[in-house]
């Protein structure tokens, strides 16, 4: 595991690292460079659209001609940096800087003073747009419900399949609190699920139970009623064990009696002991205290650390998508979890546990949009009969297994961009042409060339970025820009005819010609000049991820002037942008952990994480630890009482 430096445990020291102003000598050199070179370049390439005569987009850069004016507007110039970097400025067809000039301008922009961030402030509902740390109480997701039931009862039962689907929001994940709605229908479905769980755990006919479920039943019931242990006392023992684990906190005064009342009613009508217990426990797992991750308000308002049980749940649902285990629960009960060194040790313990595989199954699958492969996204069955449900599951499984390998073994995140290995099973081996692989289990394989390996060599990605009948350099390039590089890709302008999705006889060569024609339209060129060349680099693979046998042209030339050829050349292009790619991944992971869209103050977390990653060879533990240690994760703002 990577070790996060101790300064990341100190918010003040962290803040000092984050606010980066040039030192006095550097500031003077930066000013001098602007006066002698950069101002003339901005005048030449920008004032035509953004000068005193014309102010496109209501932006007048002539009013920013003085260096002192520029440094007073860090947000504006950060936006300009982003747009120049993305080749959105100057627009297609306008005179632009040469490659070396552009890099000189970008380098100067990167060294401008950054907007000051106050990482000590946390958000309320009213101030979330300008303070960091807003995390709302939320319902557990369908997958979290499935995992929590598993860890609470010991049953291997999918009780979540009939629950309503969760929406995605914020940074694109189902953990976003403001999309986890509750409706009358949802409540009915949760009641159905609870009855299904308890009927499996405490069935009408326990003699017919599977051995594993029978063991779970025995562990739940413990000591059965006998001459010295009346039924109600035995039920109270079950309740005292079950309720705190289900609610992820100790029982409140009077709380157990509410559920014992259900046991009493069932007993009074003549129910068998275990069936009366079943009714009691059903009430617990339909309670909001089980279904919601609610965080109690402290006695004092303002920025306060999360109480230990709430912190334990926030951590376990981040790394495991499930409830705290006994060890974490005990650390919370003793208060030890609020100590920095104990908390960090628990972060590392949870990360090393097999349950951390939820990061692949839930975070990576949503980040990369894998859940739709085989459901919403399917190749045409007549053209690609090889694409079966088993192959679709194998495609998704390769990406998830690969991602979890990086997390479990703490391998560099740059392997997502370029490596020579992956994890495949028999269906994928047949697709990839790899011999001597059998069974559905995933095995690590080393490829003889570097066409495979990394995300751009995986069949799930090729299928997710294709149309049913043909590949799409546009979809593939957009996926690389948006999902991998984190660059904004606006929707196509109106009244521009799309390329045909069902061009059955369309060859790769003719498709390239169509796209070249498409890019001659100035309204299309700004985005397609960025997307299409990247997408061409993945055209060595067909709709279902097989290497093509025809001589497809997989070369590309970027707006920067960089040229490459084929999957290996594309990987080199992406590897040169590894910081941008890894930073976007960290942004997504932070949004997943916090359950909300990030704002400008979350730059504090991203910068800390990137610093830690650069110091630890881009190994993921450094980023995960930094997120879990962040003030926005461990603290919350509580408003004063009205």
**Element holding 71 (H helix, E strand):** helix 67-71
Q: Please choose, from the candidates 591, 588, 586, 597, the residue with its C-alpha nearest in 3D space to the C-alpha of residue 626.
A: 586
DSSP letter for each residue of 14-63: HHHHH-----HHHHHHHHHHIIIIIHHHHHHHHHHHHSSS-BGGG--GGG
Dihedral sign, Cα of residue 592, residue 596, residue 599, residue 605: negative
3-class SS at 229?
strand
Q: What is the pLDDT of residue 596?
A: 87
pLDDT value at position 514?
A: 66
| Rounded alpha-carbon distances, angstroms, from residue 164 to 143, 192, 236, 352 | 11, 12, 33, 31
What's the burial of 474, exposed, middle or buried (CB within 10 Å: 0-12/13-18/19+)? Answer: buried
**601, 247, 585: which is closest to 593 by C-alpha?**
585
> What residues pair up with 132 in beta bridges, in sequence order?
122
Distance, CA of 88 to CA of 462 (rounded, Å): 27
Calpha distance 350→324 (Å, rounded): 9
Tell me the C-alpha to C-alpha distance, in Å, between residue 391 and each of 245, 370, 460, 546. 39, 13, 10, 13
Question: Quick one: which of 140, 160, 480 has its CA closest to 313?
Answer: 140
**3 state DSSP class of 128:** coil
Query: How far apart, in Å, are the Cα atoms of 122 and each of 137, 383, 497?
Result: 15, 54, 47
Residue in the structure block whose two tokens are 């922009």: 109
**Is the distance from CB of 504 to CB of 469 less than 8 angstroms?**
yes
Q: Is the dihedral of CA 552, 558, 564, 566 positive or negative?
A: negative
14 phi, psi to nearest 5 deg: -60, -45
Phi and psi torsions of 443, nearest 5°: -120, 145
Q: Consecutive 10-residue runs of the chain (642 residues): their mean pLDDT?
A: 41 34 63 87 82 73 80 81 76 77 85 68 48 64 95 92 76 76 84 96 95 95 95 97 97 96 97 98 96 83 88 97 98 97 98 98 95 94 96 98 98 97 97 95 95 96 96 94 89 65 58 64 68 92 93 87 92 95 97 87 91 97 98 82 58
CA gap 552, 542 in Å, rounded: 10
Task: Tell me how far CA of residue 399 lies from CA of 8, 122, 171, 321, 395, in angstroms.
Answer: 31, 36, 20, 19, 7
Cα–Cα distance list, 143 to 14, 255, 323, 374, 389 (Å): 34, 27, 12, 19, 21
Cβ(149)–Cβ(159) below 8 Å: yes
Tell me what pLDDT residue 129 has. 41
Structure tokens at 240: 């005292």
Rounded Cα distance, 410 and 351, in Å: 10
- For residue 153 the two structure tokens come to 């009862």
Q: Among 385, 391, 467, 466, which residue's Cα sits nearest to residue 432?
A: 391
Contact call for residues 102 and 560 (beta carbons, < 8 A): yes
Tell me which residue of 450, 463, 356 sits closest to 403, measured CA to CA: 356
- Structural tokens at position 361: 């199954």
| Unique residue bearing structure tokens 């208060």 | 335
Q: Tell which residue, 366, 361, 354, 438, has the closest CA to residue 402.
A: 361
Residue 491's CB is within 10 A of a number of other CB atoms, namely 6
Check: CB of residue 407 under 8 Å from CB of residue 360.
yes
**Cβ-proximal residues to 226 (8 Å cutoff; 6+ apart), any chain:** none
| Calpha distance 294→632 (Å, rounded) | 16
Cβ of 305: how many Cβ atoms within 10 Å? 13
Tokens of 210: 């599977």
User: Do residues 529 and 87 make contact, with C-beta atoms less than 8 angstroms apart?
Assistant: yes
DSSP 164: P
Beta-ladder partners of 55:
50
Please name which of 379, 397, 384, 531 lies closest in space to residue 458, comparing C-alpha atoms: 397
Contact 164, 180 (CB under 8 A): no
* 578 phi and psi angles, rounded to 5 deg: -60, -35
- Would you give the end-to-end CA distance of the chain in angstroms? 46
């Amino acid at each position: 595991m990577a070790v996060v430096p101790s300064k990341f445990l100190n918010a003040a020291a962290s803040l000092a690292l984050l606010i980066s102003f040039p030192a006095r000598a550097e500031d003077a050199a930066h000013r001098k460079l602007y006066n002698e070179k950069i101002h003339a370049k901005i005048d030449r390439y920008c004032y035509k659209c953004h000068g005193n005569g014309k102010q496109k987009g209501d932006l007048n850069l002539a009013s920013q001609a003085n260096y002192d004016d520029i440094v007073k507007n860090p947000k504006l110039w950060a936006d300009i940096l982003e747009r120049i970097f993305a080749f959105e400025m100057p627009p297609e067809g306008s005179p632009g800087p040469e490659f070396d000039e552009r890099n000189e301008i970008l380098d100067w922009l990167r060294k401008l003073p950054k907007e000051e961030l106050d990482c000590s402030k946390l958000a309320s509902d009213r101030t979330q747009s300008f303070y960091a740390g807003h995390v709302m109480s939320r319902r557990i997701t369908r997958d979290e419900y499935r995992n929590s039931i598993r860890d609470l009862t010991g049953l291997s039962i999918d009780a979540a399949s009939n629950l309503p689907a969760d929406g995605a929001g914020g940074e694109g994940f189902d953990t976003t609190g403001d999309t986890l709605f509750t409706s009358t229908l949802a409540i009915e479905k949760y009641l159905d699920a609870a009855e299904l769980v308890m009927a499996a755990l405490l069935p009408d006919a326990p003699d017919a139970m599977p051995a594993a479920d029978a063991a779970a039943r025995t562990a739940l019931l413990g000591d059965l009623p006998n001459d010295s242990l009346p039924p109600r006392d035995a039920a109270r023992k079950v309740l005292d064990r079950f309720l705190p684990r289900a609610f992820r906190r100790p029982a409140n005064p009077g709380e157990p009696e509410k559920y014992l009342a259900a046991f009493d009613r069932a007993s009074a009508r003549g129910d068998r002991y275990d069936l009366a217990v079943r009714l009691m426990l059903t009430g617990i797992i339909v309670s909001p205290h089980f279904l919601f991750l609610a965080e109690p308000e402290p006695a004092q308002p303002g920025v306060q650390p999360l109480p230990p049980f709430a912190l334990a749940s926030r951590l376990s649902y981040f790394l495991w998508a499930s409830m705290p285990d006994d060890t974490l629960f005990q650390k919370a009960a003793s208060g030890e979890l609020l100590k920095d060194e104990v908390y960090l040790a628990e972060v590392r313990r949870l990360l090393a546990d097999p349950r951390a595989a939820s990061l692949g199954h839930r975070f990576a699958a949503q980040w990369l949009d894998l859940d739709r492969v085989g459901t919403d996204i399917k190749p045409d069955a007549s053209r690609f009969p090889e694409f079966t449900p088993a192959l679709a599951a194998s495609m998704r499984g390769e990406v998830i297994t690969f991602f979890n390998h990086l997390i479990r073994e703490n391998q560099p995140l740059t392997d997502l961009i370029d490596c020579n290995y992956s994890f495949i099973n028999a269906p994928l081996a047949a697709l990839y042409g790899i011999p001597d692989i059998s069974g559905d289990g995933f095995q690590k394989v080393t490829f003889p060339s570097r066409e495979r390996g990394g995300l751009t060599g995986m069949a799930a990605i090729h299928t997710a970025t294709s149309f049913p009948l043909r590949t799409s350099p546009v979809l593939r390039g957009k996926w690389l820009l948006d999902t991998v590089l984190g660059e904004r890709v606006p929707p196509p302008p109106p009244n521009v005819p799309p390329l045909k999705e069902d061009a059955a006889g369309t060859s790769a060569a003719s498709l390239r010609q169509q796209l070249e024609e498409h890019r001659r339209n100035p309204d299309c060129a700004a985005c397609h000049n960025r997307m299409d060349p990247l997408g061409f680099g993945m055209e060595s693979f067909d709709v279902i991820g097989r290497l093509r046998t025809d001589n497809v042209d997989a070369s590309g030339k970027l707006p920067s002037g960089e040229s490459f050829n084929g999957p290996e050349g594309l990987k080199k292009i992406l590897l040169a942008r590894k910081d941008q790619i890894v930073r976007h991944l960290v942004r997504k992971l932070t949004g997943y952990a916090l359950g909300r869209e990030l704002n400008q103050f979350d730059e504090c977390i991203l910068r800390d994480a990137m610093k830690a990653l650069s110091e630890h060879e881009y190994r993921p533990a450094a980023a995960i630890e930094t997120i879990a240690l962040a003030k926005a994760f461990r603290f919350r703002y509580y408003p004063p009482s009205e």
